[in-house]
Structure 1
Amino acid sequence: MRNILTGISCVVVLCMPSCMQREQQKETIRTVKVASAENYGEVKTATFPGKVKPASEVNLAFRISGPIAKIHVREGQFVRKGELLAEMDQRDYQLQLAATEAEYTQIKAEAERVIKLYEKQSVSENDYDKARLGLQQITAKYEAHKNALEDTKLKAPFNGYIQKRFFDSNETVAAGMPVFSMFSSDVPEVEINIPASEYIKRDLFDKFECYFEIFPGKTFPLELISINHKANLNQLYTLRFRLEAEQGSQLPSPGMSTIVTIAYKPQSTGLVSIPITAVFEVDDQPTVWVCDTTVLTVNARKIKIDGVTNDGRVIVSGGLQAGEQVVSAGVRFLSDGDSVKLLAKPGKSNVGGLL
């Protein structure tokens, strides 16, 4: 019995150091917050006059000809997608469809009889082909005349506003002749023209925003949609942007004038900036923890500081490259070569990272 207890004691004694070592190893894996070293340089901007444009603007027309029977909307009215805007006199198209429908019913019945006889091998293949192709022909004609009757109704293709009405009731219009001008109620866009000297630097465009005099002290971020790569008659290139605005906020209306500011990417100066919280001193030398995000370890690296910005970032002129990750919080609790875990970024539902 004494020998068994002695053996158990030995096992416990042997296990304790390894267990303590594992606990210490777990304790050394700290969770850290990292930040990227960003290029630092002077930001160049350029401003251009612009005009607010609707996201979609179309001229609406009937696909058929005839006299307009009813106009259901007025200029400036808001309409929803599929809403009836105008109707054409249906009389001739109803008669046309009725005649075609009678012809279709007759040919269809005859063709079905021939097809059944052909299946019993009672008629020739030539008669079968004539019946089958005749049915196809009258079916296409019947569908076309049904579509023509449906086309006597002009409907809105999207949600928007009637900008202009070109005809009134009882006027006769030809197919394709515009009856209404309409623009969408989607978020409007902004259009500007830039000279060739700025167009050739388009790869350096970084951010865009616009300003309106009727919204003093407020700017609207812009998203670049397209750049026309062919100059117009004035040797200018057209850029089109989508307005980015907070939900529920008032937006500029199509036709308003604006001033668009283009911010260029910072010119390469060899300088980078990092949060001031990432810097600590070792032997009176500014130092940072550089995090290898592949193997999740940190290593100390001395840097050369060139200055501090007003928003609390340090300008580094040596020791760091743009894109490298540095620990930006908890730098006093790390040692060279420590393993770390990266702090997860707050989710969309966790605004400010409070949870």
Structure 2
Amino acid sequence: MLFNAMRPARLAMMFAVSSAMLLVACGGDEPPIVEPDRLVRVIEVGASNRLGDREFPAVLEASKRANLSFRINGTLEKLPMKEGDRVKKGQMVAQLSRSDAANQLADRKAAYKRSSADFERAKKLLKTDFISRKDYDEIKARYQADEAGLKQAQRNMTYTGLIAPFDGFIANRYVQNHEEVVQGQNIYTLLNTDTFDVKFEVPEQLMLHVSSSTDIPPEEKADVKIRFASRPNAFYTMNFKEVATKADPERQTFEVTYMLPKLGELNLLPGMTGTVMVQLANIQEETYRVPSRVVVANSQLQPQVWVFDKNTGTVKAKAVTVGRMTGEEIEVLSGVQQGDVLVSEAAGLLHDGEAVRLRTAGEPTEEVK
């Protein structure tokens, strides 16, 4: 009886609670939207850079260089040239004693005369079958060997003289007169400085601009000049010669060689240094400079940036290729474009697709110059 008495009161209470819950569900305000907790600062990528003028240290080398040596062993009999002496093409610059070569020539002549006579007799005997074919072949081979020996002895007589192969000057002398020298031993270094090879190194992105490559239009070719410390305000025009096709494994640069004609007003010598000016001010480069803090490493230790999407308020990682670092800025060679908004702070704490909030509402973004 007590259960039956309590039923109307319980039902009334349950109805009241259900009604209240229904009213809250149907008629209450929308639940508040939770703002992203991650605060970031951003920068906007501006226009691509102009390459500007670049300077590179350079070294001069003689365009023509030769180490002079004898083709045979012998004793020096004449060594008239000193370091710095000028020589002409075809001039005798050193002489070996000819006695050894002359004795060898006389010996080879006697051997050739003897084997030549034997060979003539063998040819007659072979016709009448008074000599075997085997003996004939042996006599013939000996004759041919002595003939070759005679020709070599005759050439060796001419090799006793050392001849300058081109006009130039003696840069180095390595021996003294009357010394015994061997075949291939350096006697002099001969240089011709009517033109110089100017060697310097450039990074990969400049290689095509300073070469003769047809992969880029003529208007994107750089104007390359050189100046020297003795005349810092004078710039001298050079002509392209060659560029290395393999980068230096440590510096990741390419060696470029230009030709510089002899300058009357400057006393230039091999080994001197200069400064090469690569003028690129009018060439637009599809690279961008951003604060170095914008570029971070991914899990594979490769460079990347975080790109902020203004429409969704989220960030996404994007791989980039970077160039050289200057001060607090770094070149981004690929992976971004003008107008991209990049995270400049908190980048290391982000995840792909994460919603973020700018650090200060309405704060203007910093444009990369």
- Which category of TM-score, normalised to the shorter sequence, fits these structures? 0.5 to 0.7
Aligned partner of 2:204 in structure 1 is 199
1:223 equivalent to 2:228? Answer no
For residues 183 and 71 of structure 1, the distance between their equivalents in structure 2, rounded to whole angstroms, comes to 18
**Bigger radius of gyration among the two:** 2
Aligned partner of 1:115 in structure 2 is 123
For residues 121 and 212 of structure 1, the distance between their equivalents in structure 2, rounded to whole angstroms, comes to 83
User: TM-score, normalised to structure 2's length?
Assistant: 0.53
Instruction: Spell out the pairing of 1:162-241 with structure 2 (5 A cutoff).
Output: 162-194=170-202, 198-205=203-210, 206-207=221-222, 208-215=224-231, 216-227=233-244, 229-231=246-248, 236-241=253-258
For residues 60 and 45 of structure 1, the distance between their equivalents in structure 2, rounded to whole angstroms, comes to 42
Residues 252-283 of structure 1: per-residue CA shift (max 9 Å, x gap): 442332111224583379xxxxxxxxxxxxxx
For residues 238 and 107 of structure 1, the distance between their equivalents in structure 2, rounded to whole angstroms, comes to 58
Q: Quick one: structure 1 residues 127 and 249, their matched pair in 2 at CA, closer, same or farther if it must change by over 3 Å?
A: farther
For residues 72 and 46 of structure 1, the distance between their equivalents in structure 2, rounded to whole angstroms, comes to 47
Instruction: Spell out the pairing of 1:256-295 with structure 2 (5 A cutoff).
Output: 256-264=272-280, 266-267=283-284
For residues 209 and 121 of structure 1, the distance between their equivalents in structure 2, rounded to whole angstroms, comes to 81
Tell me by how many angstroms 1:149 deviates.
2.6
Q: Quick one: structure 1 residues 244 and 59, their matched pair in 2 at CA, closer, same or farther if it must change by over 3 Å?
A: closer
Equivalent position amino acid for 2:84 in 1 = G
For residues 191 and 88 of structure 1, the distance between their equivalents in structure 2, rounded to whole angstroms, comes to 37
Equivalent position amino acid for 1:242 in 2 = M
For residues 53 and 209 of structure 2, the distance between their equivalents in structure 1, rounded to whole angstroms, comes to 11
For residues 165 and 101 of structure 1, the distance between their equivalents in structure 2, rounded to whole angstroms, comes to 36
Instruction: Spell out the pairing of 1:32-71 with structure 2 (5 A cutoff).
Output: 44-71=52-79
Decide whether the 8 Å contact of 1:212 with 1:219 is kept in 2: no
Equivalent position amino acid for 2:65 in 1 = E
1:132 equivalent to 2:140? Answer yes
Tell me by how many angstroms 1:133 deviates.
1.6
Decide whether the 8 Å contact of 1:93 with 1:148 is kept in 2: yes
Q: Quick one: structure 1 residues 42 and 199, their matched pair in 2 at CA, closer, same or farther if it must change by over 3 Å?
A: closer
Equivalent position amino acid for 2:204 in 1 = Y
Residues 112-154 of structure 1: per-residue CA shift (max 9 Å, x gap): 3333554676654333322322222112222222233322211
Which of 142, 156, 166 is matched with 1:158 structurally? 166
For residues 112 and 42 of structure 1, the distance between their equivalents in structure 2, rounded to whole angstroms, comes to 84
Tell me by how many angstroms 1:233 deviates.
6.0
1:242 equivalent to 2:259? Answer yes
Decide whether the 8 Å contact of 2:196 with 2:261 is kept in 1: no
For residues 227 and 191 of structure 2, the distance between their equivalents in structure 1, rounded to whole angstroms, comes to 23
Equivalent position amino acid for 1:202 in 2 = M
Equivalent position amino acid for 1:260 in 2 = V
For residues 234 and 210 of structure 1, the distance between their equivalents in structure 2, rounded to whole angstroms, comes to 22
For residues 176 and 132 of structure 1, the distance between their equivalents in structure 2, rounded to whole angstroms, comes to 34
| Larger displacement relative to structure 2 (177-186 or 251-260) | 251-260
For residues 126 and 186 of structure 1, the distance between their equivalents in structure 2, rounded to whole angstroms, comes to 62
For residues 227 and 184 of structure 2, the distance between their equivalents in structure 1, rounded to whole angstroms, comes to 39
Q: Quick one: structure 1 residues 119 and 241, their matched pair in 2 at CA, closer, same or farther if it must change by over 3 Å?
A: farther
Tell me by how many angstroms 1:238 deviates.
2.5
Structure 1 residue runs of 5 or longer lacking an equivalent are 1-40, 270-355
Give the length in aligned residue pairs: 225
Q: Quick one: structure 1 residues 116 and 232, their matched pair in 2 at CA, closer, same or farther if it must change by over 3 Å?
A: farther
Q: Secondary structure at the match of 1:67?
A: strand
Tell me by how many angstroms 1:166 deviates.
1.7
Identity of aligned residues (%): 24
Q: Quick one: structure 1 residues 160 and 232, their matched pair in 2 at CA, closer, same or farther if it must change by over 3 Å?
A: farther
For residues 70 and 150 of structure 2, the distance between their equivalents in structure 1, rounded to whole angstroms, comes to 20
Structure 2 residue runs of 5 or longer lacking an equivalent are 1-48, 211-220, 287-369
For residues 152 and 142 of structure 1, the distance between their equivalents in structure 2, rounded to whole angstroms, comes to 16
Q: Quick one: structure 1 residues 253 and 236, their matched pair in 2 at CA, closer, same or farther if it must change by over 3 Å?
A: same
For residues 204 and 149 of structure 1, the distance between their equivalents in structure 2, rounded to whole angstroms, comes to 53
Q: Secondary structure at the match of 1:258?
A: strand
Equivalent position amino acid for 1:217 in 2 = A
Decide whether the 8 Å contact of 2:64 with 2:191 is kept in 1: yes
